[in-house]
Amino acid sequence: MNLEHPILSSDGSRYFSVGGSASFKTFTHRGYNCSLEWVDGEPAMLIWSARGGLDAGVFGICLSSAAKYADPSGDITPAGYLEIINALPVLGKPLLEIEAKTLRDCVLLWMPDLLHMPACPSAVRIADRPDALWEITHKDQNGKVLSEASI
């Protein structure tokens, strides 16, 4: 999870929304919640503590980085395990081996669902689209609208 570039609202305040109607699927396992969603059109696995709520933070794995976490044999990679250890404080969990192994188990349990997510639906892409910065209207000499565009 990239903590240096948080998700900001239009007024600059931090926010994020996981779970609920925006989810493709949701899961709960051994103290963790998971929501499979599309982040900027890419399938992503978002994990947070079931006990700590969203106040503690969210750990995200996008489909493009799935190979960093799981190898073809279905086990965790060393780099993926290191990322899981680094995610524990973000999730409000102590740096204990049992917590790292529990989060590892969750990642490996839900990885096949992430790999089999469909492409982002058009409705989700449209809903995630930011507000237009400019609206351009092209008119002829009589004021008749020839074309309109939003950028």
pLDDT higher than threshold 90 for residue 15 = no
Look at the chain and report how many structural domains it folds into: 1
Is residue 5 one of the residues assigned to a domain? Answer: no
Question: Residue 133's pLDDT is what?
Answer: 72
Distance CA 102, CA 50 (A): 13
Is residue 15 one of the residues assigned to a domain? Answer: no
Is residue 45 one of the residues assigned to a domain? Answer: yes
Is residue 116 one of the residues assigned to a domain? Answer: yes
Beta bridge partners of 48: 33
Is residue 7 one of the residues assigned to a domain? Answer: no
| Domain span including residue 144 | 20-150
Is residue 10 one of the residues assigned to a domain? Answer: no
The pLDDT tens digits for 94-116 are: 999 999 999 999 999 999 999 99
90: nearest Cα among 32, 42, 17, 24: 32
Is residue 11 one of the residues assigned to a domain? Answer: no
pLDDT higher than threshold 90 for residue 52 = no
Yes or no: say if 56 and 90 are a contact pair by the CB < 8 Å rule.
Answer: yes
Is residue 30 one of the residues assigned to a domain? Answer: yes
The pLDDT tens digits for 17-35 are: 677 667 889 999 999 999 9
